[in-house]
Structures are given as C-alpha cells and as structure tokens.
Amino acid sequence: QKAHLQEQQPLAQAPVLQGLWEYVKSGQEDVLRSPYLPASFAFLAHVLLCAPFLTLDALGSVCLRVRSWRMTAGSGPPPSLSRWLECFCRVLYKYVTVVLPVTALFNTLINLKLPDVAPSCWQLCVEVVACLLLFDMLFFMWHYVMHRVSWLYRNIHQMHHQHHTPFALAAQDCSSAELLSLLLLSLSSAWMVGCHPLSEALFHLINTWLAVEDHCGYDLPWALHRLLPCLGGAPHHHAHHSLQTINYAPLFTHWDQLFGTYRPVNE
C-alpha cells in the first residue's frame, strides 16, 4: 500500500498542463526541435489570425454595421481581395528568403531543450506576461530609434508606413530586415525570460493576435483594448500610422506615457 501511494504521489502533484504537454511531445520531438518551427509557426499564426478580418473587410462593402466599426477618417473603403493577395505574397517571399534561414540559425545556436514537466498554470501566466512586457519594451526602443534615425527609417521602416491606413495582414508587411527583427526580438524575449515551450507558444500567439488587431483598421466593440485599458489597441496604432511621431509601443501604453510620445485617442 505504501508503494502504491508513493507511485500516486507524483501524479497528484503533476501540473494541470502535464497531459497537454505529453500529448504535444509524443512523437513530435523532432518537429518541436526543428530550427524551422518558429518562423513557420509565426507565418501560419499570422495568416490564420488575419482570416477573421479578411471576412470583415469582405462584409464591409455590404454591411453598414461592419462599416461603422472602421476607423474611417480618410481611410476609404476596406482593402480589396487583390490587395490582400499582394500583401500575402510579399510577406511569404520575405519569410522564405530571409526570415526562415536566419531564425533557423538563431534557434540552432540557442539549442532548445524540451523539459519533461509542464509548467504550472501560474508559471505559464507569469512567463507569458513577462515576455509581453519585455517584447513591448524592446520593440518600443527599436521602433523609436527607427523613426529618429533617418537612415534606419528610409532603409528599414519606411516600407511599413506605405500603409497610411493599415489592415490586418499589413502587420508584417515591412522590409525583410524589420520583419526579421520582429521575430528575433520575440524569440529573444522568450529566451531571456527562460520560457517553457508551452509558455513561449502562447506568448507568440497572443503577441501575433495583438499585432494583427492593432493593424486591423477596426475599432471593434469587443476589442481587447476595451477590456484592458493598459493596451493601446487599433486606435492607438492607427494614430501612429497617421502622424508617425506618437504611440510607438506595440502593445501597452506605459512607455509612450513615460517618454512623452503618448497621444490618447478621442472616443
């Protein structure tokens, strides 16, 4: 009986997410260790999370309710399907030619390890929030510098600002160097925090969703920035694309407030 209790004790203490982690790992370790996984995951997540906004853009031409959610000041009609397709091809080309090989080298150097134990729910939440805060700080600094140094703006960042009124897929429609820097900053954030792979995957999903939502062109009633006032959201980033000298932070508003570059959006 004592031996039986000793066998059950580790199971009772196993994290809630242990079953999920074992399911993900089972027979998939080669895939999880692949240096090509992060870039592939980033591209697929971006495209899939853009799909709801493609639907909204299609409905916008026939539905007044959807059109009323658009941030319409000088924005014109929703982007056409051909514009979406052109943007998709540009982003795909940059992933294949630059982002995939460079991030593969980065992941080969950091030598990813797969732990046997899943994170606790608390550990997962702490690591994801820490990654979001760290990425927000790193990209705020990089974004601010790109705007302040004219050479960097012309050669790296200006391409992204061709979209005076952005749409969801345009979140990653930028120069190859900037697109690569985005992914390297997010991978570095997870590496510096020391994330469990489950935490890292959730961080990348949330980060991608927030970037897509920031560029979607809609101020939706259910948008996350309405639930969490610490987030900038689409109106915050739309103002950046319009004026270019304010609202540099990608996720939260505290860095812009600290550095005097925050411009509140009038509701």
For residues 99-115, give the mean pLDDT: 85
Beta bridge partners, 252, equal: 231
pLDDT tops 70 at residue 3: no
Residue 29: what pLDDT? 80
For residues 29-58, give the mean pLDDT: 90
Reading the block at residue 108, the tokens are: 């080969």
**Helix 81-94 vs helix 176-193: crossing angle, to nearest 10:** 60
pLDDT tops 60 at residue 45: yes
pLDDT tops 50 at residue 253: yes
Average pLDDT, the chain: 87
Of 181 and 33, more confident: 181
For residues 202-231, give the mean pLDDT: 90
Residue 90: what pLDDT? 95
In this structure, how many other beta carbons lie within 10 angstroms of the beta carbon of residue 127? 21
Of 254 and 68, more confident: 254
Most confident of 99-113, 142-156, 233-247: 142-156
| pLDDT tier for residue 73 given thresholds of 50, 70 and 90 | very low
For residues 31-36, give the mean pLDDT: 85
| pLDDT tier for residue 266 given thresholds of 50, 70 and 90 | low
pLDDT tops 60 at residue 12: no
Give CA–CA dist 222/7, Å, rounded: 47
pLDDT tops 50 at residue 209: yes
Burial of 7 (0-12, 13-18, 19+ CB in 10 A): exposed
For residues 20-24, give the mean pLDDT: 87
What are the domain boundaries of the chain? 34-69+77-259
Residue 74: what pLDDT? 46
> pLDDT exceeding 70 applies to what percent of the chain?
92
Residue 10: what pLDDT? 47
